[in-house]
Amino acid sequence: MSYLYCHGGFTNQYSVFNQENAETAAAALRTEWQLGSAPIPSVTDLFESKGGMIVEFDTVDGFDGLSGTVNNEFPAIVIRRDLSADRKRFNIAHEIAHDYTGTDDEKLAHRFAAAFLLPSKTVFSEIGEKRRKLNLTELLELKKKHGVSIQAWVRRAYDLGVITEESYQSTCRWISSKGWRRNEPGEYCFPEEPVRFRQLVLRALSEGMITNAWANHLLPDMEYTPTDTQLSRLMKMSGRERAEALSPILDRATEDYLKSEDLTDLRIAEEPDDYE
């Protein structure tokens, strides 16, 4: 398996100082990961397959994501849980841009993310090299196919010179008039759900490396971790009743645990000595 990071950084890094650099860096990463120009079904799965880890949290408005490393070793991206799939995809690509290129410029990270998700070859193939305007039905179909928002498609078309600035501004005003800047129509159906962190916690719990309480702290929504009250009820059941109650819980845990054979980086779930 090829790893995304090497000692806390990408195997290759590109310095980005302008929009052209951002395009080049995005193309280089797609080449390194052998992605071609086809749509990426799940950016989450791709990142995790390269050794990265994504953690979702319920956060306040204004926060969409951040990236870094855990213990100077494990690549990680934190994203907001309640975002739509297309926004999660773009945000993950945006955070990859920061680390891969080393840029702190948000506009350049945006350009990298757009180029990574929608290479110029793909854009020209889908909508042509010159257009007077784009229509909603067309954009909805492209959103469903590529998992990239209508607004990002319009901006990408403008950045690549497919549509003029006048057409771009006109389309943006139309989108605003519909109230779609925060909640646009259309949905990307392929799930963007991180699983690697969950699997690592489950393995650590199964192998007795962390306590039940710490597992619940790391995964608050882990329904199949029994609480002390649940354990008390289970102990009062007959053997048959207990087996019936635990069966679906064990099936779900087993399914999560066996999804990946690459569950080696267990130190991400280390429990503090003073945790109770």
pLDDT value, residue 31: 93
- Do 127 and 52 share a domain, yes or no? yes
Domain final position from 146, 177, 208: 177
- Check whether residue 71 and residue 160 sit in a common domain: yes
Q: Specify the amino acid at residue 272.
A: P
CA-to-CA distance for 229 and 221, rounded, in angstroms? 17
Task: Dihedral sign for Cα 257, 258, 259, 265, please.
Answer: positive
- Same-domain check for residues 173 and 200: no
| pLDDT (0 to 100) of residue 247 | 65
Q: Is 94 helix (H, G, I), strand (E, B) or coil?
A: helix
Instruction: Indicate whether 129 and 245 sit together in one domain.
Output: no
Q: What is the pLDDT of residue 183?
A: 86
Q: Is there a domain that residue 184 lies in?
A: no
Q: Are residues 37 and 152 in the same domain?
A: yes
Look at residues 147, 177, 207 and tell me which one is the last residue of a structural domain: 177
Is 39 in the same domain as 139?
Answer: yes
- Tell me the residue range of the domain where 260 lies: 196-269
Boundary (domain end) residue, out of 116, 148, 177: 177
- Same structural domain, 215 and 155: no
- DSSP string over 160-205: TTSS-HHHHHHHHHHHHHTT-SSS-S----S-----HHHHHHHHHH
Specify whether the CB–CB gap between 11 and 3 falls below 8 A: yes
* Burial of 130 per CB tally in 10 Å (0-12, 13-18, 19+): exposed
Q: Is 62 exposed, middle or buried (0-12, 13-18, 19+ CB in 10 A)?
A: exposed
Is residue 182 situated within a structural domain?
Answer: no
Angle at CA of residue 184, ends 182 and 63, nearest 5°: 30
- For residue 47, give both structure tokens: 């990142």
Predicted confidence (pLDDT) per residue in 110-162, tens digit: 999 999 999 999 999 999 999 999 999 999 999 999 999 999 999 999 999 99
Structure tokens at 235: 């102990």
Q: What pLDDT score does 34 carry? A: 92
Question: Would you state the pLDDT for residue 209?
Answer: 77
pLDDT tens profile 82-121: 888 999 999 999 999 988 888 889 999 999 999 999 999 9
65's CB contacts (< 8 A; 6+ apart) are: 77, 78, 79, 80, 91, 92, 94, 95
Low-confidence ranges of the chain (pLDDT < 50): 1-9, 224-230, 257, 260-269, 275
The answer to whether position 9 is within a domain reads: no
Q: Judge whether 143 lies within some domain.
A: yes
Q: What is the pLDDT of residue 75?
A: 75
* pLDDT given for residue 107 in this prediction: 94
Same domain assignment for residues 170 and 249 = no
Tell me how long the chain is: 276
In a domain, 3, yes or no: no
Does residue 40 sit within a domain? Answer: yes
Number of domains into which the chain is organized: 2
Q: Give Cβ neighbours of residue 97 (< 8 Å, ≥ 6 apart).
A: 16, 22, 25, 26, 103, 108, 109, 110, 112, 113, 116
Asked whether residue 171 falls in the same domain as residue 257, the answer is no
Q: Is 173 found in the same domain as 256? A: no
Asked if residue 96 belongs to a domain, the reply is yes
pTM of the predicted model as reported, rounded to 2 decimal places:
0.71
| Residue 221 located in a structural domain | yes
Alpha helices in the chain (DSSP H): 19-32, 43-49, 85-101, 106-117, 120-127, 136-146, 150-159, 165-177, 196-206, 212-218, 228-236, 239-257
Is 169 found in the same domain as 202? Answer: no
How far, in Å, CA of 268 to CA of 16, rounded? 31
Q: How far does CA 98 lie from the centroid of its chain?
A: 14
Looking at the structure, do residues 126 and 158 belong to the same domain, yes or no?
yes
Q: What is the pLDDT of residue 7?
A: 38
